Amino acid sequence: MLFQKLLNFNAIALASTLLVGMEASARTVEYDLTISEQTLAPAGKNVRVLAINGGIPGPTLRFTEGDEAVIRVHNQLSREETSTHWHGLLVPNAMDGVPYTTTPPIKPGQSYTFKFPLKHSGTYWYHSHTGLQEQRGIFGSIVVLPKGGEPVKTSQDHVLLLSDWTNRNPNTIMRSLMSGYDYDAIRKGNKQSILGAAKAGALGEYFQREWERIPPMDLSDVYFDAFLINGKTTSTLAGKPGEKVRLRLINAAAASYFYVNSSAGPMTIVAADGPPVQPVKVNELLMGIAETYDVVVTVPPTGSYEIRATAQDGSGHASVWIGSGTPHPAPEIPKANLYKMDYMLAGAFEALGDAPSDGRPLPPYRKLRSPQSTTLPANAPRREMTLRLTGDMERYIWSFNNKTLTEESTIRVKKGEVLTFQLVNDTMMHHPIHLHGHFFRLINGQGERSPLKHTVDVPPMGKRTIEFEANDAGDWFFHCHLLYHMEAGMARVITYNQDESYKPGLDPALLDPYYWMAMGYVQNNMTMGMAKIMNSRNDFGVEWDIGHDDSGGEHLASYEIDATWGRYFNPNFSTLLGGRFTNEDDLENRAIAGFRYRMPGFVRSTFTLDSEGDARLELMKSFQLTERLSVFSGIEYDTASDFRSNIGAEYILTRNFGAVTSYDSDHGFGAGFSFRF
């Protein structure tokens, strides 16, 4: 009996010693991140930016699996609150960093301390989740090493943080996007036109697309002044011949996908979104926004070799050179033929494919295979739901199932269930969909070895299937990681709260903000235009038509001004209600109601009925001849004033101004300038 007691005592003592040793080995790793406004030149021109510890990007935060992170974020901005989200890391819900939803916003002059354990290894990143601050410079990288070291050994280990940079204010960009003005496409050389379609041998497809009311295809919404790797357009890494180098690729761009390729030969993918995958070689790699990939390259015997990140729309690239000696550039990625449907629809026909025939691959998802089984509990309750990715490129409204975050904020889940999401893209743009607080299995044909990811690209008109276990209660953000799409409504909160009346906290910056805009033209014979404030569904504005009167009549100018509220329902239909004010002879001010309808061929029609019993029908059509030159025509029939017509041409000169000339049946010939703000 005494021997048994001694044995039990020794066992307890040994267990206690092991526990104390384990606790002692768990390091606390501390960082301080200070967010401030600085004058820097990421694209070669001094601009005011938001920086972390004085630079862009912020510092790399390095940990080892099992460490406890203590990160103090200090907000030194004078007027803006801020936030920090730890993208891809599984952290306690209160530490996730989404302002108002999980974590309090960090007010100006205040600090917030994040504390969380590092439960898994991999390559991740961090960024602001407040408004459009990420685009202005608040982002950085995270490296968490496995306890026993990386399973794939390399001589060097480098972070390559990819980003896009604009010298413009992101709020101005958002306003421009919502107005439907696509000057950015002109700057990138991607503006579709009749002449461009003819040169591409796709004139028939161009007019068929217009007849079917499909907006021009695009790969990026925004023109960027620079693309950067670790804050630079080009940089070098030392490398000895034959060395194997791990490159931790992070796409921290706000609105750009990147093709990554190397002149040093194939890249071997060894990890995706943090977790390891079975090594697989690729020549090119398409990275969706917010994805990470660890790749291994071998330094060739002689020369300097380029690792290049090319923007998906072909508008620029950034480079890192490894080795020394004669430079060997990476192969050029061919530009997409945006007039042809085959590339844009490749994901619809082969959603898990890896390389269309034109050398522009889709993400390598079909090749990704987990080293071990990732199957979820077989006895867990299961539920499947379809989420359609929906939007309108011209109005710039983005949504799930045709509802924005403001209109439908939550997806309710129950702890312990396994959710399968069918993500179906009904738009002509790529969408990188990110889930906070969980890894999901990407169902890619690898069965029980399906890879774990936190972000997935859903290609135009394509679909992806993901599944995850609801195993961490709280409110978790789920959204498109194209920053301007999230801002425009493509987001939800996955909540474990089953109370139907429960509404999660949301950042006011995401709640359907209003933007103002104005456009029109001023000529020697007349001026026409509109000015309004708008959000996703509502327009409050005025439209004016003022003609100069040289006949010596009672008025120096005749005017008609419509002041209306418009309500958007879908890309083809909206309503309007308001008043029409005029000084024209025999006409009175009156109330009006009506609708706008987009007809086949992008013919825009407007029908109104006024309080005097008169009806008006307007038809308008624009033909884009070249990237900058368009012709327009319109016809109007009003039961009170009979027929009116106009025809004209506009040449875009700058972002805000163009030259215009037109003939109007009421006001004759004229010439002047157009404006857009």
How far is Cα of residue 406 from the mean position of the Cα atoms in its chain?
Answer: 18
Task: Please report, for residues 276, 365, 565, 594, 614, the alpha-carbon distance to residue 591 in angstroms, rounded to integers and kept in the order given.
Answer: 65, 57, 12, 11, 11
The rounded distance, in Å, linking the Cα atoms of 376 and 166 is 42
Q: Say whether pLDDT at 347 is over 70.
A: no
| pTM, rounded to two decimals | 0.92
Question: What mean pLDDT is predicted for residues 29-52?
Answer: 97
Report helix, strand or coil for 664: strand
Residue 339 pLDDT level (bands cut at 50, 70, 90): confident
pLDDT, tens only, 90-136: 999 999 999 999 999 999 999 999 999 999 999 999 999 999 999 99
pLDDT, tens only, 300-327: 999 999 999 999 999 999 999 999 889 9
Q: Say whether pLDDT at 288 is over 50.
A: yes
pLDDT, tens only, 348-361: 665 544 445 567 88
Strands 139-145 and 61-64: parallel
pLDDT, tens only, 154-204: 999 999 999 999 999 999 999 999 988 889 999 998 899 999 999 999 999
- pLDDT of 14 reads 39
- pLDDT of 7 reads 37
pLDDT, tens only, 592-602: 999 999 999 99
Q: Say whether pLDDT at 15 is over 80.
A: no
Strands 111-117 and 68-75: antiparallel
pLDDT, tens only, 602-622: 999 999 999 999 999 999 999
- pLDDT of 548 reads 80
Q: Which residues lie closer than 8 Å to 161 by C-beta, 6 or more apart?
A: 57, 125, 139, 140, 141, 229, 230, 231, 250, 252
Residue of 88, 57, 160, 119 lying closest to 456 (CA atoms): 88
481 neighbors 434 (Cβ within 8 angstroms): yes
